[in-house]
Amino acid sequence: MAVGTDPKRMRERMVSEQIEARGVTDERVLAAMRKVPRHLFVQEALAAHAYGDSALPIGHGQTISQPYIVALMTELLEVKPGMTVLEIGTGSGYQAAVLAEIGCEVYTVERQRSLYAIARERLLEMRYFKVKCKLDDGTLGWPEEAPFDRILVTAGGPSVPEPLLEQLADPGIMIVPVGRSKRSQELVVLRKKDGSFTEERHGGVAFVDLVGMHGW
């Protein structure tokens, strides 16, 4: 981070210009986005860009999502403190930290060993003890800890992974970027209630690929 820049002020600006300006209003989400030090979730060389309006590379062809997309998905999840949330695609650990900051118990799965190791260490160092990390194919979910009040997939797949449908609590909400072509998907919001699902679709997004047993 360049000398003279104040991360807290950069976060205030990020929230007002990129997130509130686009219509996110959930105070819990806005407060968490103002608090989590995003610049510590990217490599030092990219820290100066951490509060910009874009996704950033985190190595191994993967990215930390654009701040607005993190805020939008967190708002769509309708999380409350104390809820259990399963995240597929830990990546940098930033989204998990935002959920933990809100007071959720977060279970996050990453399939890429070095990203898993770096994120786990980072989250521990930052004292996000409400986040549990696992190295595995997240399209299988985390059956030992199911059911989850909320499930968030942060990579784009061909369809909603079947095991996740079963691991969602009732009532529960799950968000998955789904699309035919890689790197261009729609955000699918699934609600489970009384044993049945309803589906809503929210605009286009561009996530890295969800791979694995129920992925590409």
- The single residue of 16, 65, 181, 184 carrying the catalytic annotation is 65
Q: Does residue 156 touch ligand SAH according to CB under 6 A?
A: no
Quick one: 30 or 123, whose CB is closer to ligand SAH?
123
140 DSSP 8-state letter: G
Site for ligand SAH in 197-216 (CB under 6 A): 208, 210-212, 215
CB of 70 to ligand SAH, least distance (A): 6
Q: Facing residues of 209 across strands?
A: 156
**Of the candidate residues 36, 47, 89, 172, the single one contacting ligand SAH (CB under 6 A):** 89
Under DSSP, is residue 133 helix (H, G, I), strand (E, B) or coil?
A: strand
CB of 131 to ligand SAH, least distance (A): 11
Q: Does residue 88 touch ligand SAH according to CB under 6 A?
A: yes
Long-range contacts of 109-114, Cβ-Cβ distance < 8 Å, separation of 24 or more:
109/133, 109/134, 109/135, 109/136, 109/137, 109/138, 109/141, 109/142, 110/134, 110/135, 110/138, 111/135, 111/136, 111/137, 111/138, 111/211, 111/212, 112/60, 112/62, 114/59, 114/60
Q: Is 196 a catalytic residue?
A: no
Binding residues (CB under 6 A) for ligand SAH: these are 62-65, 88-89, 91-92, 94-95, 109-112, 115, 137-139, 154-155, 208, 210-212, 215
